[in-house]
Amino acid sequence: MNLADALALLERSAAEAAAAVVGAASLDDLASVERDWLGKRSPATAVNEAIKTFGPDERPRAGQAVGAYRAAVTDAVAVRRSELEAAAAADRGPGLDLTLGGHGAVRGHLHLVTQIRRELEDIFVGLGYRIAEGPEVEDDWHNFEALNIPPAHPARSMQDTLYIELGRPEQVMLRTHTSPVQIRTMETQEPPIYVVAPGRTYRNETLDARHSPAFHQMECLAVDRGLTMADLFGTIEAFAKRLFDDESVRTRFRSDFFPYTEPSAELAVSCVFCHQRGCRVCSHTGWIELGGCGMVDPNVFVQVGIDPEEWQGFAFGFGLERIAMIRYGIDEIRTFFDNDQRFLEQY
């Protein structure tokens, strides 16, 4: 190869290389084009080898031509590489790699007490009741006095009270039961009244397996003309059958005392687990105590300006945690408030 051949080879190769680079369809393709036109077996290497045989005055010319060829092909490869990389990135989309594994969204659910509350509300709404509400911070009048529990009445000591502010003429407390909602409802609504009032209640108690300073109750109040204990019993029976989804559930009423009902009764249902053969849930008695009930005391009606000669009423109240504990065989009331997901997830 003489100098003229070398220059002609480089010129031809530069044109072919440029076409090959532009025609490279992928980064892999481009790498092999680069090897062909700049690598060990490329025209540039062949000319370099031949330079030794050229005369001293021809060598610089040849050297410059090889340098110019290399620079042109290298630049063209770089341009094409960045084009191909941009195209590949656009194909992948905006940083989204659908082949990556996901984290999965964990779906939560309602707390067990909320589930029970809603279920009970549904049962009573089905019986024609409305939902009533009252404040968790109550005054002495609604929590005790209007319910026929005057100061120093022994019934107050049945409920250890959490007072907000002592020594004021008007005492303020966390309500000890949902019964004050009876008063608030009768103060603002004309009979006939059919309401249930679910909500949080508080007592000055130390937390143990069966007691909690905060818990939930549901109150029921019906005021109408001509209501009798038969209506009370029938309502509780209908509700117990729906709640435990068992037509064979029986109810038991034993004489009891509450200042706001007369007569009053303790309310129990036959054990839905052993059907009264005796088991752990009913402590081998065959009966499960749910709460208290009775006919609204005429004194309570007088306090809220309802004529007890014209209107009669019945009321009952029970604990929501207790219902959940019976239904699911839970023996620790603390588990409702610990917020341990391992417990909550089960229901």
Query: Is 216 in contact with 317 (CB distance < 8 Å)?
Result: no
**At its nearest, how many Å lie between ligand DAH and the CB of residue 239?**
14
Report yes or no: 333 and 215 within 8 Å, Cβ to Cβ.
yes
42: CB partners within 8 A, 6+ apart: 13, 35, 36
Note whether 323 binds ligand DAH by CB under 6 A.
no
Under the criterion CB under 6 A, does residue 293 sit at the interface with ligand DAH?
yes
Binding mask 220-259 for ligand DAH (x = CB under 6 A): --------------------------------------x-
Among 144, 303, 317, 322, binds ligand DAH (CB under 6 A): 317
What the block records as the tokens of 135 is 């404040």
Smallest distance, ligand DAH to C-beta of residue 203, A: 9
d(CA 118, CA 126): 12
193 bridge partner residues:
223
313 binds ligand DAH (CB under 6 A): no
In terms of CB distance, is 29 or 205 closer to ligand DAH?
Answer: 205
Minimum separation from the CB atom of position 181 to ligand DAH (A): 10
148 — alpha (psi -120 to 50), left (phi > 0) or beta?
left
**Among the candidate windows 41-49, 241-249, 290-298, 303-311, which touches ligand DAH by CB under 6 A?**
290-298
Under the binding rule (CB under 6 A), the answer on residue 212 touching ligand DAH is no
Among 117, 142, 177, 184, binds ligand DAH (CB under 6 A): 177
In 169-297, beta strands by DSSP E: 172-174, 193-202, 214-224, 251-258, 261-270, 287-296
State both tokens at 192.
């006939």
Which of these ranges, 20-28, 225-233, 287-295, 333-341, lies near ligand DAH under the rule CB under 6 A? Answer: 287-295
Q: Contact 65/10 with Cβ under 8 angstroms?
A: yes
Q: Are 286 and 274 in contact (CB under 8 A)?
A: yes
Judged by CB under 6 A, the stretch of 85-93, 119-127, 311-319, 326-334 that binds ligand DAH is: 311-319
Interaction of residue 291 with ligand DAH, rule CB under 6 A:
yes
The answer to whether residues 189 and 163 touch, using CB atoms and an 8 Å cutoff, is no
What minimum distance in Å lies between the beta carbon of 345 and ligand DAH? 31
Binding of ligand DAH at residue 43 (CB under 6 A)?
no
Interaction of residue 198 with ligand DAH, rule CB under 6 A: no
Which of 3, 315, 323, 325 touches ligand DAH by CB under 6 A?
315
List of residues 6+ apart from 138 with CB closer than 8 A: 172, 173, 174, 175, 180
Which residues of the shown chain bind ligand DAH in the complex (CB under 6 A)? 177, 179, 219, 258, 261, 291-294, 315-317
